[in-house]
């Protein structure tokens, strides 16, 4: 058993030696942006979600499986995953400080899970008693099944988290029995079930369980899931080509399935170095970021089957499921620790601040399943969903978030994300050097301001590598007020030296308002523009612009936007205020189409308009919202 | 029993006295556009569809209901409607000439239906034997049921068609027993089931059955369906406000349901004159045409629940179900015969030539369920569907089509549509005049050419009213070479006089190529343009423009398009050839978003491009297609 208290994905190394993410408990955020959200997650989101687990029958399903009488199974066949994700979230949330009630609920959940496991190691409350004969019955190579492996995968992740955060082996013991059961029941051998789950997830869990226990058969089970699979993400009846996964040249099908699968591929690749998997990961990550991704980091435009569409298919009415953004972050995190390429941390940052954070209300108690980029005011957050995958997935990522801020490698600490706080890190040993402690203090008003000051609290020779986001221009970087030459945006700036306690690094990332356009092949975005500042995507909401339907706003070549910090607005945000053209479309009265020659130049009335960060939309009265507005 | 051999919807009259559509058999089309399509429908589409009815079990379901042993029910619970729509299509198809095999199949189908009816009048092959206890069991005021009334409605339409076309009362007898059963089983009274069908359709059938039989309880049953209904079109689980239908101010929900409902409302309104229904029809028809309709006449953009979206939500990946266009035409036809306003015939024409005709291949044997307006080459027509509503709906409308060309009223014949052919019409009597025969000959190459010559073959005093499409400019109209002043596009030009045999009316509708833009609120169409000529929408298909991805074509302010008749292309079409700008997007390599300031003016390379009529797309090799291309 190895490495308690670390949110890690890889120990293999690559261009950089063995980077891994920081332990969650090693990073204490104290900033005004994330720290309050993480505290809301701890004290409001997790308790209200627990009530949902009780109300929807999720907890009763475990009690029933453990033998309590008079209960019926309720919910989807994968309802167990609601508890597993909540449990993982609760476990990591305790890294930020004790919460006795939460600890008691974790203890109770651990006991529930122990009690629900069958004597042969099987664990899934949907297939007990009269439905026990259905176990593994629908598994096949195209993945049309009951999501038993998907549920197992989420349990493995929760068990690993429990061990890493607390050192307890109680859930690991349950997990090993289940993983041993799976290794016997499913595989390529005679007498085994041949097949995979429609919903990938177990691959990640099995590899992590391998990393903790050293049991290679868990890694083999994970690899078998990739080898046996035909098709990438088939759910909701949609039809896509069923290829062996190594043969895909683009992401297809159910978006959450596809990115969870790629995260699992990354885990298997990290442990096997199979070149075909490495090439697949590079190819599909490029496809996602170059042709399939919303400006918010959201993915999967299609409402009909929660799926990826054609290249450049990016309608305003995005599906962009919150879980898909979470899955994209999980995938990029695994790529990051293998290659420590800044592009992966750039995408994590973009996704966190926009397509992820839009999924939850400021009060932490209602959620978007779909994250549209334009709306007439009808799409609102909900307290829960019949298929409640997204809410506990958000709680889990919030709780893990401190671990994403830094990567550690022998002799080097990588600063992936920016927020005020303290980090107490251990750089691991390698052949040439011993492990060493490194403490850093970050001070910044990021993402509202791009000045970041890092005070070194450890001495000795090591490297500090700062991510310079690709969106940045005119970056400046100094050590103890001495400017460093030519920092390159889109890369880590690696500062190596003999550090003294009190050394101060200042990174300045100017944050002008950027007017962003999309690739011309993205036809629905042609002639339109979106505003960004720093990592944040902005939107126009009706509430701030009552004199116009926000969809009629046009940004002209002379429009200038100014950032203004407004502490009273939406929990404190930098709003963008500027002049835009507002068009009176009244001359269209009654017409939906007309000849171009009838349309003169639109008469623009200059008006002061206000944009707010996209993540904060729909926290006031219902009204129209637009990320993309017209140019011209 | 009244009015054999007429495809009629109304006998009430309005601003014009009692217009009604012409009998199907009264109009013989001889043109090069529609006549071959109608013949394909008779000799290829209907026979291949019959084979599908056999293969999918639809016919066996009737045999089973009639007592044949060893058969299981197959298909959706509304599978019977496939036969009913096919039967109605076959019946009207015989108006164009005898086809012995088709007649035999009609006879056989009539006998099958007679045999399948239960002794109490109930008729639905899905709820026989062991499922008989489920009859009407799921009916409720929000319409979540088994589509038994929907199926009954299609049967009533087929029975009415059989009677009108052949004079036979065999199916009318079955229909009366079923309608009597329904009038007893369902209604507002004590001991009756209170509720409606999720899928409207029965309203139209009941009103037509009332018109033929004079039985007011059928009209009352239809009106009850409207009165009891909460909600417009709820299918596939989507949630919409459940209002009493008279309260809606826009179309919502399942598009086919919504327009079928409105067609039924129009039928009930025609017989009751209830002002709230008349206002509803005007309000929602305006909403559809001013905010919800694709340029092709297609409606219902959403793939997730086959539904209407927000106003101006018109993504290229349209759902635009073929049945929804058929339903829209049925609705407009009912509005047309009540008001004889040219706008309804304009929409019928637009829908027929574009959003309807795109639903079937040139060979008449494969179909689109969804009619997208832009594609990367993956969306192709299919031979049949698991839910096969669209194919027989198309066959039916093709077969009825001659009846749409003219409306007749006392003293006036309205020319609604243009194609070469002969019409032998009877203008009905009213208080002031007797009925009279009117024969007309149309000669035209419409829609390829806008010159229409109508030769009067009857003498006497009556009016001939010609629709001048709203798209027309510089219309000229003459009688015996004498020009008439100031014809007004968008209205009927009513020519009244003492006609002599051999009088010649010439209507000239110039057909320049029109560049069409959409309302600026339709954000996905902003900065884009589509080509139209006459009633036809054009598209760019990869096959004709191999040197460029058609989605990269830009039409510039100086682009000029010329119509060129090409008899060898796609069965003979007028293609549009012109110069467009083609953009090399290579400088975008690897980027999906970038700052607007980085984008200079696109460098356009002038290239000759070719557009074809939209209806004819996807009849060659798979490739990209675009209706809307960029401007600039």
Measured N-to-C along each axis, helices B80-93 and B100-116 cross at an angle, to the nearest 10 degrees, of 140
From B293, B521, B594, residue closest to A551, measured CB to CB? B521
Q: Which of B305, B318, B379, B526 to mutate to test the interface with A (most CBs of A within 10 A)?
A: B526
- Sheet hosting strand B412-415, strand order edge to edge: B20-21, B406-409, B412-415, B460-468, B491-499
pLDDT value at residue B10: 45
The answer, yes or no, to whether residue B18 has pLDDT greater than 70, is no
* A387 has a pLDDT exceeding 70: yes
pLDDT confidence band for B587 (50 / 70 / 90): confident
Count Cβ–Cβ pairs < 8 Å, chain A vs chain B.
Answer: 139
B519 and A583 within 8 Å at the Cβ level: the answer is no
**pLDDT at res. A192:** 96
Q: Is there a single domain that holds both residue B519 and residue B627? A: yes
- Chain A residue whose CA is closest to B377: A310
B596 neighbourhood in chain A, CB within 8 Å: 515-517, 529, 631
pLDDT at A9 over 60: no
Predicted local confidence at residue B4, as pLDDT: 42
Structural domains of chain B, count: 2
Residue B2 binned pLDDT confidence (cut-offs 50, 70, 90): very low
Q: Are residues B541 and B602 in the same domain?
A: yes
Shortest CA distance from A602: residue in chain B: B520
- Active-site residue flag, B387: no
**Is residue A211 a part of any domain in this protein?**
yes
CA pair distance A11, A2, nearest whole angstrom? 11
Whether A412 is in a domain gets the answer yes
Mean pLDDT of A413-423: 98
How far, CA to CA in Å, does A611 sit from each of A367, A553, A555, A564, B593?
22, 11, 12, 10, 19
User: So what's the pLDDT on residue A16?
Assistant: 44
pLDDT digits (tens, 9 = 90+) for A436-453: 999 999 999 999 999 999
Which residue among A348, A377, A404 closes a domain?
Answer: A404
Which of B145, B156, B99, B76 is closest to B123 using CA atoms?
A: B156
Residue B380 DSSP SS3: coil
A603 and A552 housed in the same domain: yes
Give the model's pLDDT for residue A556: 86
Q: How sure is the predictor about A584, in pLDDT bands with cuts at 50, 70 and 90?
A: confident
Phi-psi region of B590 (alpha: psi -120 to 50; beta: other; left: phi over 0): left
Residue of B nearest to A599 (CA): B517
Please report the pLDDT score of residue A4 as a whole number.
41
Residue range B460-478, pLDDT digits in tens:
999 999 999 999 999 999 9
In the predicted structure, residue A7 carries a pLDDT above the cut 60: no
Residues B96-128: tens digit of each pLDDT: 899 999 999 999 999 999 999 999 999 999 999
Angle between the B202-213 and B148-166 helix axes, to the nearest 10 degrees? Answer: 40
Q: What is the pLDDT of residue A13?
A: 37
Q: Are the CB atoms for A536 and A447 separated by under 8 Å?
A: yes
pLDDT, residue A38, reads 98
pLDDT in tens, B256-293: 999 999 999 999 999 999 999 999 999 999 999 999 99
Do residue B550 and residue B504 come from a single domain? no
A240 within a domain of the structure (yes/no): yes
Query: Average pLDDT for residues A291-315, to the nearest whole number?
Result: 96
CB contact under 8 A, A516 and B295: no
- Where does the pLDDT of residue A240 fall: very low under 50, low under 70, confident under 90, or very high at 90 and above? confident
Q: What is the pLDDT of residue B15?
A: 39
Instruction: Please tell me the distance from the alpha carbon of residue A271 to that of residue A262, in angstroms, as a whole number.
Output: 14
What integer best gives the mean pLDDT of chain A?
Answer: 93
Do residues B166 and B220 touch, judged by C-beta distance below 8 A? no
Q: What six digits make up the tokens of B183?
A: 């009038």
pLDDT digits (tens, 9 = 90+) for A36-53: 999 999 999 999 999 999
Are A301 and A326 within one domain? yes
Among A387-396, B199-208, B233-242, the minimum mean pLDDT is found in B233-242
Interhelix angle B216-228/B255-272, nearest 10 degrees: 130
Say how far apart CA A471 and CA B253 lie, in whole Å: 42
Residue from A321, A515, A584, A592 to probe the interface with B (highest B Cβ count within 10 Å): A592
Residues in B touching A378 (Cβ below 8 Å): 310
Same domain, yes or no: B561 and B596: yes
Q: What is the dihedral of CA A221, A224, A230, A232, to 10 degrees?
A: 50
Given the residues B58, B257, B323, B389, select the one marked as catalytic. B389
CATH number at residue A205: 1.50.10
Residue A581 · residue A606 · CB < 8 Å: yes
- What's the gap in Å between the CA of B631 and the closest CA on chain A? 9
Q: Of B463 and B588, which is predicted with more confidence?
A: B463
Q: What is the pLDDT of residue A266?
A: 95
Average pLDDT over residues A14-25: 72
Chain A residue numbers touching B599 (CB-CB < 8 A): 517
- Residue B101 bears catalytic tag: no
Q: A514: pLDDT confidence band, cut at 50, 70 and 90?
A: very high
| A139 within 8 A of A197, measured Cβ to Cβ | yes
- What pLDDT does A36 receive? 98
pLDDT attached to residue A6:
53
What residues of A act catalytically? 306, 389
Residue B387 tokens read as: 């839910």
What is the model's pLDDT at position A142? 82
Q: How confident is the model at residue A382 (pLDDT cuts 50, 70, 90)?
A: very high
Q: Which pLDDT score is estimated for B226?
A: 97
**Which range is least confidently modeled, B13-17, B93-97, B450-454, B613-617?**
B13-17
Of A517, A552, A628, the CB nearest to B594: A517
Looking at the structure, tell me whether residues B519 and B619 fall in a common domain: yes
Residue of chain B with shortest Cα separation from A600: B517
The single residue of B148, B201, B203, B306 carrying the catalytic annotation is: B306
Structural domain contains residue A12: no
Phi, psi of A484 (to 5 degrees): -100, 145
- Does B209 reside within a domain? no
From the list A345, A453, A401, the residue with the least C-alpha distance to A25 is A401
pLDDT tens profile B21-61: 999 999 999 999 999 999 999 999 999 999 999 999 999 99
Q: In chain A, what residues touch B519 (CB-CB under 8 Å)?
A: 585, 588, 591-593
> Distance from B101 to chain A by nearest Cα, in Å?
38
| Residues with Cβ within 8 Å of residue A345, at least 6 apart in sequence | A332, A336, A416, A417, A467
Q: Tell me the shortest Cα–Cα distance from A524 to chain B, in angstroms.
A: 4
Q: What is the pLDDT of residues A74-100, one digit of tens each?
A: 999 999 999 999 999 999 999 889 999
Q: Is the pLDDT of residue A432 over 80?
A: yes
B308 with B258: CB under 8 angstroms?
A: yes
Which is it for the CA torsion A63, A65, A68, A71, positive or negative? positive
Q: Which of B508, B535, B554 is the last residue of a domain?
A: B508
Task: Please give the pLDDT value at position B151.
Answer: 98
Dump the DSSP string for A245-296.
GGG-SS--SBHHHHHHHHHHHHHHHHHH--HHHHHHHHHHHHHIIIIIB-TT
| Contact indicator for A171, A159 with CB cutoff of 8 Å | yes
Tokens of A75: 């919910």
Give CA–CA dist A93/A41, Å, rounded.
Answer: 8
Q: Sign of torsion, CA A326 A330 A331 A335?
A: positive
Q: Across the interface, which of A291, A522, A594 has its CB nearest the CB of B517?
A: A594
CA angle B537, B541, B547 (to 5 degrees): 140
pLDDT for residue A398 is more than 70? yes
Q: Are residues A121 and A166 in the same domain?
A: yes
Range(s) of the domain holding residue A557 = 513-631
For residue A102, tell me if it sits in a domain: yes
**Confidence at residue B490, expressed as pLDDT on a 0 to 100 scale:** 95
Identify which of A286, A588, A596 has the shortest CB distance to residue B519: A588
Q: Do A585 and B521 touch (CB under 8 A)?
A: yes
State the average pLDDT over residues A318-333: 98
Percent of chain B scored above 90 by pLDDT?
Answer: 86
* ipTM of the complex as predicted: 0.94
A141 SS3 class: coil
A568 pLDDT higher than 80: yes
Tokens of A163: 């061990």
Residue B600 pLDDT exceeds 90: no
Query: What CATH number does the domain containing B429 carry?
Result: 2.60.40
Q: Where does a domain end: B483, B508, B533?
A: B508
DSSP codes, B213-225: H--HHHHHHHHHH
Q: Which of B570, B580, B573, B627 is nearest to B608 (CA)?
A: B580
- Using CA coordinates, name the residue in chain A closest to B513: A595
Question: Based on the domain organization, do A332 and A471 belong to the same domain?
Answer: no
Same domain, A250 and A289: yes
Q: Are residues A229 and A91 in the same domain?
A: yes
- The minimal CB distance from B304 to the residues A304, A315, A375 is found for A304
Contacts of B313 in chain A (CB under 8 A): 317
CB-CB neighbors (< 8 A) of A293 in chain B? 592
Question: pLDDT at position A15, please?
Answer: 40
Express each pLDDT in B340-398 by its tens digit.
899 999 999 999 999 999 999 999 999 999 999 999 999 999 999 989 999 999 999 99
- pLDDT value at residue A25: 93
Interface test with B, best of A301, A469, A523, A559 (most B CBs within 10 A): A523
Q: CB distance B516–A595 less than 8 Å?
A: yes
Residues A519, B585: C-beta atoms closer than 8 Å: yes
pLDDT for B7 beyond 60: no
Query: Which of B592, B626, B630, B632 should be substituted to probe chain A, the one whose Cβ sees the most A Cβ atoms within 10 Å?
Result: B592
B558 vs B543, which has greater pLDDT?
Answer: B543
In tens, the pLDDT along A524-549 reads 999 999 999 999 999 999 999 999 89
Judge: A290–B591 Cβ closer than 8 Å, yes or no.
yes
Going by pLDDT thresholds of 50, 70 and 90, the confidence category of residue B181 is very high
Residues of A with CB below 8 A from B374's CB? 523
A519: chain B residues, CB-CB within 8 Å: 585, 588, 591-593
Segment B164-177 mean pLDDT: 96
Instruction: Give the nearest chain A residue to B313 (CA atoms).
Output: A317
Q: pLDDT category, A601, cuts 50, 70, 90?
A: low
Mean pLDDT of A337-350: 95
Q: Which residue has the tokens 């959003």?
A: B355
Q: Tell me, yes or no, whether B598 lies in a domain.
A: yes
**Predicted local distance difference test score (pLDDT) of residue B11:** 44
- What is the length of chain B? 632
Distance from CA of A311 to the nearest CA of B (A): 9
Q: Give residues with Cβ within 8 angstroms of A440, minimum separation 6.
A: A406, A413, A415, A422, A423, A425, A454, A455, A456, A457, A458, A464
Q: How confident is the model at residue A422 (pLDDT cuts 50, 70, 90)?
A: very high
Whether B440 is covered by a domain: the verdict is yes
Q: Taking residues A278-301, report their average pLDDT.
A: 98
Same domain, A240 and A299: yes
Chain A residue nearest residue B376, CA to CA: A310
Over range B529-535, report the average pLDDT: 98
Stretch B517-537: mean pLDDT, rounded? 96
User: What is the predicted pLDDT for the residue at B14?
Assistant: 37
Q: State the pLDDT confidence band at A8, using cuts at 50, 70 and 90.
A: low
Locate the chain B residue with the closest alpha carbon to A554. Answer: B520
């Amino acid at each position: 058993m190895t490495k308690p208290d670390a949110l890690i994905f890889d120990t293999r190394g690559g261009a950089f030696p063995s980077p891994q993410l920081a332990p969650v408990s090693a990073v204490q955020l104290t900033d005004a942006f994330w720290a309050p959200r993480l505290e809301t997650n701890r004290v409001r989101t997790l308790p209200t979600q627990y009530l949902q687990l009780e109300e929807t029958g999720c907890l009763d399903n475990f009690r029933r499986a453990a033998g309590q009488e008079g209960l019926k199974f309720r919910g989807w066949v994968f309802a167990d995953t609601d508890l597993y994700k909540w449990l993982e979230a609760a476990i990591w949330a305790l890294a930020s400080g004790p919460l006795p009630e939460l600890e008691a609920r974790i203890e109770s959940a651990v006991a529930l899970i122990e009690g629900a496991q069958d004597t042969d190691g099987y664990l899934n409350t949907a297939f007990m008693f009269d439905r026990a004969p259905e176990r593994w019955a629908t598994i096949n190579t195209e993945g049309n099944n009951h999501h038993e492996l998907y549920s197992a995968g989420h349990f493995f992740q929760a068990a690993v988290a429990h061990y890493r955060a607390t050192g307890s082996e109680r859930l690991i013991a349950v997990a090993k029995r289940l993983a041993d059961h799976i290794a016997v029941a499913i595989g390529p051998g005679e007498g085994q079930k041949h097949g995979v789950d429609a919903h990938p997830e177990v691959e990640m869990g099995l590899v992590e369980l391998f990393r903790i226990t050293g049991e290679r058969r868990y890694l083999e089970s994970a690899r078998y899931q990739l080898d046996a699979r035909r098709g990438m993400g088939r759910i909701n009846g949609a039809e896509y080509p069923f290829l062996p996964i190594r043969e895909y040249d683009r992401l297809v099908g159910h978006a959450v399935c596809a990115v969870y699968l790629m995260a699992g591929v990354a885990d298997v690749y990290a442990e096997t170095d199979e070149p075909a998997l490495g090439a697949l990961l590079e190819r599909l990550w490029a496809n996602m970021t170059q042709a399939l991704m919303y400006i918010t980091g959201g993915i999967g435009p299609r409402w009909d089957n929660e799926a990826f569409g054609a290249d450049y298919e990016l309608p305003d009415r995005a599906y962009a499921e919150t879980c898909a953004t979470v899955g994209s972050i999980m995938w990029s995190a695994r790529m990051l620790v293998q290659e420590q390429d800044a592009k992966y941390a750039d995408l994590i940052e973009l996704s966190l601040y926009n397509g992820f954070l839009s999924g939850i209300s400021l009060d932490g108690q209602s959620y978007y399943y779909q994250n549209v980029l334009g709306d007439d005011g009808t799409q609102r957050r909900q307290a829960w969903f019949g298929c409640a995958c997204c809410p506990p997935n958000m709680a889990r990522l919030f709780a893990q978030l401190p671990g994403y801020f830094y990567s550690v490698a022998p002799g080097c600490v990588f600063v992936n994300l920016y927020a005020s706080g303290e980090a107490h890190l251990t750089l691991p040993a390698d052949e040439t050097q011993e492990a060493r402690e490194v403490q850093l203090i970050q001070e910044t008003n990021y993402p509202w301001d791009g000045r970041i000051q890092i005070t070194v609290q450890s001495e000795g020779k090591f490297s500090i590598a700062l991510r310079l986001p690709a969106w940045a221009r005119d970056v400046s970087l100094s050590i103890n007020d001495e400017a460093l030459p030519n920092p390159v945006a889109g890369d880590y700036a690696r500062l190596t030296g003999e550090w003294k306690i009190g050394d101060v690094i200042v990174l300045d990332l100017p944050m002008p308002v950027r007017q962003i356009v999309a690739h011309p092949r993205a036809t629905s975005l042609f002639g339109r523009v979106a505003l960004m500042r720093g990592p944040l995507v902005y939107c126009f909401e009706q509430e701030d612009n009552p004199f116009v339907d926000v969809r009629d706003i046009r940004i002209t070549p002379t429009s200038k936007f100014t950032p203004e910090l407004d502490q009273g607005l939406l929990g404190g945000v930098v709003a963008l205020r500027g002049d835009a053209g507002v068009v009176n479309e009244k001359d269209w009265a009654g017409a939906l189409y007309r000849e171009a020659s009838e349309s003169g130049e639109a008469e623009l009335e200059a008006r002061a308009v206000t944009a707010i960060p996209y993540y904060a939309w729909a926290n006031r009265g219902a009204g129209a919202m637009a990320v993309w507005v017209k140019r011209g």
